[in-house]
């Protein structure tokens, strides 16, 4: 079952547009934002952070995404941002995102200019994720960890700034209805937490 959010398409944004957009207060949840949850009191929480890498290309800003390998215990095969669990030595969530990005895809932290955060995102498996937005100017080299990363690809940011591209879906799991967002792109299926965080980015940068 799915419905599609209908709003006007977004225009390309500059680096300054993105900086200013990330300074906006998080917009209130929409009435049908059923994919947004809050973990119940007593839930065993795993703190995590991801990097939302925006790549400055001549054809326009691109979003860098990874596809996880099929054998991983958590979120196997899914399209995601580089990131992972917070470690005790990480001073903040930005440090976690930069460390995990370097470990997963070999993108050196010196190549990343941090722009800000998106609203935190919680998922039923107990992860509490902090998305950190970073700006990447080419050239740069990637060295993906073959154990964790099956593929790395880029997609135009404008695709994810058009609310009409997002689909609201639901499924039944262990006797309960689960709601999630999805945003297909050229044969790839981006869904769950990644799509939810992208929708937050869309709303902040477009002011919708």
* Residue 86: Cβ within 10 Å count: 21
The pLDDT assigned to 18 comes to 95
The pLDDT assigned to 125 comes to 84
133-154 burial, b for 16+ CB within 10 Å, e for fewer? bbbbeeeeeeebeeebbbebee
Helices 15-22/193-206 angle, 10° precision: 100
User: DSSP class of residue 43?
Assistant: -
pLDDT along the chain (208 residues), means of 10: 38 86 87 77 93 96 89 66 96 98 96 96 91 97 91 96 90 68 94 94 90
The pLDDT assigned to 95 comes to 98
* pTM, entire model: 0.88
* Residue 22: Cβ within 10 Å count: 15
The CATH number linked to 139 is 3.90.79.10
Contact call for residues 52 and 160 (beta carbons, < 8 A): no
Structural domains of the chain, count: 1
Report the SS3 class of residue 122. strand
Domain that holds residue 143: 2-206
Compute and round to an integer the Cα radius of gyration of the chain.
16
């Amino acid at each position: 079952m799915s419905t599609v959010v209908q709003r006007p398409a977004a225009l390309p944004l500059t680096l300054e547009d993105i900086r200013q957009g990330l300074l906006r207060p998080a917009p209130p949840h929409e009435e049908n934002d059923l994919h947004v949850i809050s973990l119940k009191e007593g839930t065993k929480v795993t703190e995590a952070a991801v990097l939302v890498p925006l790549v400055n290309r001549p054809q326009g800003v691109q979003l860098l995404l990874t596809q996880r390998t099929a054998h991983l215990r958590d979120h196997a095969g899914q399209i995601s941002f580089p990131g992972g669990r917070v470690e005790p030595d990480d001073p903040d969530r930005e440090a976690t995102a930069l460390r995990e990005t370097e470990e997963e895809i070999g993108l050196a932290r010196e190549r990343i200019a941090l722009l800000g955060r998106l609203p935190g995102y919680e998922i039923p498996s107990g992860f509490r994720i902090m998305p950190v937005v970073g700006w990447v100017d080419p050239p740069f080299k990637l060295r993906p960890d073959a154990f964790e990363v099956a593929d790395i690809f880029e997609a135009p940011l404008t695709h994810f700034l058009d609310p009409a591209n997002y689909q609201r879906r639901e499924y039944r799991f262990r006797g309960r209805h689960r709601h999630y967002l999805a945003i297909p792109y050229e044969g790839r299926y981006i869904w769950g937490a990644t799509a939810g965080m992208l929708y937050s980015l869309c709303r902040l940068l477009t002011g919708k």
